[in-house]
C-alpha cells in the first residue's frame, strides 16, 4: 500500500460502477444461461477540471509513484463515501458472520443508515453497499456477500468510507492545452 490519494485538487465528476463476474452462454433460439462465478468490485473514473501545473503536480507525482497498477492506495470519494442517512455513533457487529453472508446484527448508532450508502468493516479491504435502510440497532443487510468473516464487536465505518484501490490500467496520460492547463481523468478499481 502506498498511501492516500491527494484530497486536493478535487474532482469535478466521478463515474462510479459495480463489476460482477458471470459466465454466459446463449443458444441460437435465444435462451440464455448465466452463472455467477463470484466476486464483485467497485470501479470508477474521476475527472478534474482544467488544472494549472502547480495544482496538477501533486496528483501527477502520486500517480507516477503507483507504478501503473502495481501499487494499491486508499481514497475517500466525497461523492460516494459520505453517508446520506442521519446515523451517528460507533457502529459495531454484535455477532459473528461467515464469508458469503449478506447481513449482520449491529448496534451502537442512533438515526438511520440509508440503502445505497457505502460501509466497510474494520478488518476488510472490501467496501460494501448498504442494501436496506436501518434505524438504530438491528440487522444490517449489504451487498455483496462478505469476502472475509466478521467477528463480534468488529467496528463498521459508514461515513468517509475509504476505498482500497489501484489504477485501472498501466498507462496514465494527461493533456496540456494551448492555454497551459492540464486535463486529467483517472480510472481506479477496487483492490480486494
| Distance separating alpha carbons of residues 19 and 76, to the nearest angstrom | 19
Most confident among 17-31, 32-46, 48-62 (mean pLDDT): 48-62
Class of the CATH-defined domain 1-78+163-192: alpha beta
| Distance separating alpha carbons of residues 49 and 177, to the nearest angstrom | 12
- Asked whether residue 1 carries a pLDDT value surpassing 80, the answer given is no
- Which part of the chain has CATH 2.40.30.290? 83-159
Q: Return the bridge partners of 46, or none.
A: 14, 186
The 3-state DSSP class for residue 78 equals helix
- Asked whether residue 108 carries a pLDDT value surpassing 90, the answer given is yes
CB contact at 8 A, 121 and 154: yes
Q: What pLDDT is stored for residue 123 in this prediction?
A: 85
* pLDDT tens per residue across span 150-178: 999 999 999 999 999 999 999 999 999 88
- Asked whether residue 179 carries a pLDDT value surpassing 90, the answer given is no
- Which part of the chain has CATH 3.30.200.190? 1-78+163-192
Topology (CATH) of 83-159: Elongation Factor Tu (Ef-tu); domain 3 (2.40.30)
The 3-state DSSP class for residue 123 equals coil
Is pTM beyond 0.75? Reply is yes
Distances (CA, A) of 98 to 101, 102, 140, 145, 149: 6, 9, 14, 9, 5
Phi-psi region of 30 (alpha: psi -120 to 50; beta: other; left: phi over 0): left
- Asked whether residue 104 carries a pLDDT value surpassing 90, the answer given is yes
Q: Which residue has the higher pLDDT, 22 or 181?
A: 181
| Distance separating alpha carbons of residues 140 and 113, to the nearest angstrom | 9
| Distance separating alpha carbons of residues 48 and 186, to the nearest angstrom | 9
Amino acid at each position: 500500500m502506498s498511501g492516500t490519494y491527494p484530497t486536493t485538487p478535487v474532482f469535478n465528476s466521478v463515474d462510479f460502477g459495480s463489476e460482477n463476474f458471470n459466465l454466459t452462454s446463449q443458444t441460437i433460439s435465444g435462451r440464455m444461461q448465466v452463472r455467477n462465478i463470484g466476486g464483485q468490485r467497485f470501479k470508477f473514473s474521476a475527472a478534474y477540471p482544467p488544472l494549472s501545473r502547480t495544482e496538477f503536480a501533486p496528483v501527477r507525482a502520486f500517480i507516477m509513484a503507483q507504478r501503473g497498477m502495481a501499487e494499491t492506495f486508499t481514497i475517500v470519494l466525497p461523492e460516494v463515501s459520505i453517508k446520506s442517512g442521519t446515523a451517528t455513533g460507533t457502529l459495531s457487529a454484535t455477532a459473528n458472520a461467515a464469508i458469503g453472508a449478506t447481513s449482520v446484527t449491529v448496534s451502537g448508532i442512533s438515526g438511520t443508515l440509508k440503502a445505497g450508502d457505502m460501509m466497510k468493516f474494520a478488518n476488510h479491504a472490501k467496501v460494501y453497499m448498504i442494501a436496506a435502510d436501518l434505524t438504530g440497532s438491528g440487522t444490517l443487510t449489504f451487498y455483496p456477500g462478505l469476502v472475509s468473516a466478521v467477528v463480534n464487536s468488529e467496528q463498521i465505518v459508514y461515513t468517509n468510507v475509504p476505498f482500497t484501490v489501484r489504477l485501472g490500467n498501466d498507462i496514465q496520460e494527461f493533456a496540456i492545452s494551448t492555454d497551459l492547463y492540464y486535463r486529467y481523468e483517472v480510472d481506479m478499481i477496487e483492490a480486494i
